[in-house]
Structure 1
């Protein structure tokens, strides 16, 4: 299969770096996104997300004519779908409407010999559904579920496996798991990714195995984080410093307990385990409980914030609750990025703003403007927060916060153990 033009559907935290990586190899790449602002930004050679080194690659690719963004799909040799896959409702059922919409948008562009790869992290069976939606929209073409190796269109799944903040390096160096609907589908997908991937392209037995591999990786991490978060709450009840305890326990050669935090966020770990639970609700008991532990951690942190406010008022009886100011350090779901998706810090701050009668300040060094609809208080600089806050709440261990001195006045709620260790 000769690849001359690649189309990437969805120009977010995975789609744009992937598009830029292909374009850096002197391939024509058409990026498609429904966000007109993002499209315009990219076409200026700029980026709308924070990711180290991405800006330089996008700028060069656009300037040299290898990368172009649009809101309308165009014909291509290969289509990569990298759209969100959230869950919906209290039962955490997978929501595939963005994948289905992407299929409807590219279906008129498909031609014999095309390759379509689902990169979005998806519940088991999503790739097969995608192929079914495409087949329904293009009955004039054959697809693997009916024509097998002789199909006009090749279908595969290849989930991303990168760490925000290191995406540009890990896209190149990490192994990729590829599950084609037929062996020839897998072979064509491997050939595509080998245009820039230096890691091994491992062929799974089926798209389902590839889908489950990604879900398993993130569920494994979620379970281990849940152990640390549960341990932190137990230690609080027993008046033990959890960070000291973990440091001591990790001296065992076969123990490696992770660090607790205010919860779990992001577009993967906070979502993917529910896809396994939805597929096998009677069997996925441990995975479900881990999710519930991590989902409950923000409420526990809020209890600590309320206790800190009460403690401050006891020490300062001359003040009323509406005169107490709270500074929350960090909004992103992890350190040193701007990504707010499924962020426990964001959830905590919004609850503080909604319940605390006094001023709530937010320090987030990776965000210039907080959308007003998030209702997240006032964005201030670190110096102002340190100077004027009565209660300091550390939610994200950004590098700036690790390097700052522990606030000298007011109550401290440290959900990351950065200030407490000092």
Structure 2
């Protein structure tokens, strides 16, 4: 289920149900019928388990393509957000949005269960995982390169959660990036995460304070507060928007 929409999705989503035998499947179907308005789809346990893993793995693979496109566009001097918007005008194309990596306790984890069951048959899945796991390294390299323009740069990281408008930091690429930058000591690293009050080892500041202090702004999470930042506040700063906050 989607954080922030748990009750809605719990009730309205279709459900794939597979028990270890026919009787257990029937009992599970009876249970879900009490509160689920979505369609209940009956199958066996192994297929149901793999279906859930495939849902998240499909997202991971498609995000990997978007993340790879963002790197290609950076090398070619092309606006990746414009490119994706134009490509998606085709009726059979639906490229997802790139970001600083992939986080959370599902999409970044579930593909490995499929890989462990069939390592020789999952080259695409493994490659997607490598692309998404390496994206934070690319972001750090880009920030490091920009920091060389300053004697004592102040690097402002916008967001730590693994997705917009939540407070969940599990497997978050944004958190990994902020911590790596802090450990590298290439400048002073300050962070704004409006949904969290404190994080060990990181200097969390209010948004206005961060905007006043930062030489380099790195948008890592598309929180609604960041989307409302007046464009004038970005002037005379180096901006790296990894997730299309202002697009």
Query: How far apart, CA to CA, are the structure 2 residues paired with 1:282 and 1:416?
Result: 33
Task: Find the counterpart in structure 2 of residue 23 from structure 1.
Answer: none
Q: Paired residue for 2:37, among 164, 188, 198?
A: 198
Contact 2:18 2:42 in 1 (8 A): yes
Deviations 1:25-44 (A, max 9, x none): xxxxxxxxxxxxxxxxxxxx
Structure index of larger Rg: 1
Q: Report the structure, 1 or 2, having the larger helix content.
A: 2
Structure 1: distance between partners of 2:187 and 2:86: 40
- After superposition, residues 118-133 of structure 1 pair within 5 angstroms as none
2 CA distance for matches of 1:397 and 1:362? 14
Matched, 1:353 2:197: no
Question: Equivalent residue for 2:163?
Answer: 334
In structure 2, distance between residues paired with 1:344 and 1:165 = 20
Partners of 1:409 and 1:388 lie apart in 2 by 12
1:408 corresponds in structure 2 to 235
The answer to whether the aligner puts 1:175 opposite 2:14 as a matched pair is yes
Q: Structure 2: any 5+ residue segments left out of the alignment?
A: none
Task: Please say if residues 308 and 412 of structure 1, whose CA atoms lie closer than 8 Å, have aligned partners that are also in contact.
Answer: no
Paired residues of 1:270 and 1:291 also in contact (CA < 8 A) = yes
C-alpha displacement of 1:276 = 0.5
Deviation of 1:357 after TM superposition, in Å, equals: 4.5
* Separation in 2, partners of 1:362, 1:194: 45
Residue of structure 2 aligned with 1:392, choices 202, 210, 217: 217
In the alignment, the residues of structure 1 paired with residue 230 and residue 137 of structure 2 have an alpha-carbon distance, to the nearest angstrom, of: 27
How far apart are residue 191 of structure 1 and its match?
A: 1.5
Matches within 5 A, 1:16-95: none
Between the aligned partners of 1:291 and 1:217, the Cα distance in structure 2 is 15
Distance (Å, rounded) in 2 between the aligned partners of 1:176 and 1:409: 51
- Report the Cα distance in structure 2 between the residues aligned to 1:202 and 1:356, rounded to whole angstroms: 53
Alignment of 1:178-189 (within 5 A): 178-189=17-28
Q: CA deviation at 1:356?
A: 2.1
Map 1:108-127 → 2, pairs under 5 A: none
Task: For residues 284-336 of structure 1, give each alpha carbon's deviation from its aligned partner in whole angstroms, at most 9, with x where no partner exists.
Answer: 1111101111111000000111111113x2xxxxxx3xx32111000000000
CA distance in 2, matches of 1:245, 1:388: 32
Query: Deviation of residue 210 (structure 1)?
Result: 0.7
Deviations 1:357-385 (A, max 9, x none): 53211111111222x2xx2x211110001
TM-score computed with the length of structure 1 as normaliser: 0.57
How many residues are paired up? 245
Instruction: Tell me which residue corresponds to 1:233.
Output: 71
Q: How does 1:262-411 map to 2 (within 5 A)?
A: 262-311=100-149, 313=150, 320=151, 323-370=152-199, 372=200, 375=201, 377-406=202-231, 407-411=234-238
The Cα shift of 1:408 comes to 2.2
Shift of 1:198: 1.2
Structure 1 unaligned residues grouped into runs of 5+: 1-161, 314-319
Aligned partner of 2:83 in structure 1 is: 245
| 1:417 equivalenced with 2:244 (yes/no) | yes
Residue 202 of structure 1: SS of its match in structure 2?
A: strand
Shift of 1:339: 0.7
Following superposition, the deviation at residue 417 of structure 1 comes to 2.1
Normalising by structure 2, what TM-score?
Answer: 0.96
State the superposition RMSD in angstroms: 1.1
